[in-house]
Amino acid sequence: MTSTLHWLRNTALTQWLAQYSHLLGNRDALLISGEQLGQLPDKPPVKQSIYARKNDAECLGNTLPTYVMLKSDEEWVELVLSFRQQITW
């Protein structure tokens, strides 16, 4: 089981990293949702995995950077359950 899934719902990834990157462990991952998907940098800003829900991406109509791994609703549930803890930002 991996460590922490940081779910960014109300904070842009670059802003979150500027403030909280020290909280991101080697086995952590990031889940980006909502409007935050439209604010992603072109290149991966961290070595940890970055996920998004397919439905969120389709609703926004944005083309996401290739480092973002899209998850269906079923895969999203499995992803959340695979982490020891989840923090929503």
Per-residue tens of pLDDT for the chain, all 89 residues? 569 999 999 899 999 999 999 999 999 999 999 888 989 999 999 999 999 999 999 888 878 999 999 999 999 999 999 999 999 99
Rounded to two decimals, the pTM is 0.91
Residue 83 and residue 2: Cα distance in Å, rounded? 5
pLDDT of residue 61: 81
CB atoms within 10 A of CB 37: 21
